[in-house]
């Protein structure tokens, strides 16, 4: 089901179409509804560009559980 925002709606929110797509992609990624690759595609960016945008917005690529798993695999543990 396509989601359509009119030009008037985008103007009301002071967003361009690309900004709206990026905002939607970020929210869906943060809510763990889509993968980072799918979010990047939705935003019209490649994966590295999307990761950089997350960094600019101070949005972590890892949650605590992912970090703990990575550290455990590397032989470390969080206290």
> Per-residue pLDDT tens for 6-53?
777 777 767 788 999 999 999 999 998 999 999 999 999 999 999 999
Please give the Cα distance from 76 to 37 (Å, whole number): 28
Task: Write the burial class of residue 3 (CB in 10 Å: 0-12 exposed, 13-18 middle, 19+ buried).
Answer: exposed
Say if pTM beats, i.e. exceeds, 0.75.
no
- pLDDT (0 to 100) of residue 75: 84
């Amino acid at each position: 089901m396509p989601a359509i925002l009119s030009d008037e709606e985008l103007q009301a929110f002071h967003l361009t179409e690309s900004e709206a797509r990026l905002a939607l992609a970020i929210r869906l990624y943060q809510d763990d509804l889509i993968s980072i690759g799918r979010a990047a595609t939705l935003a019209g960016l490649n994966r590295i560009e999307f990761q950089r945008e997350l960094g600019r917005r101070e949005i972590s690529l890892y949650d605590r559980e992912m970090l703990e798993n990575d550290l455990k695999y590397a032989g470390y543990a969080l206290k």
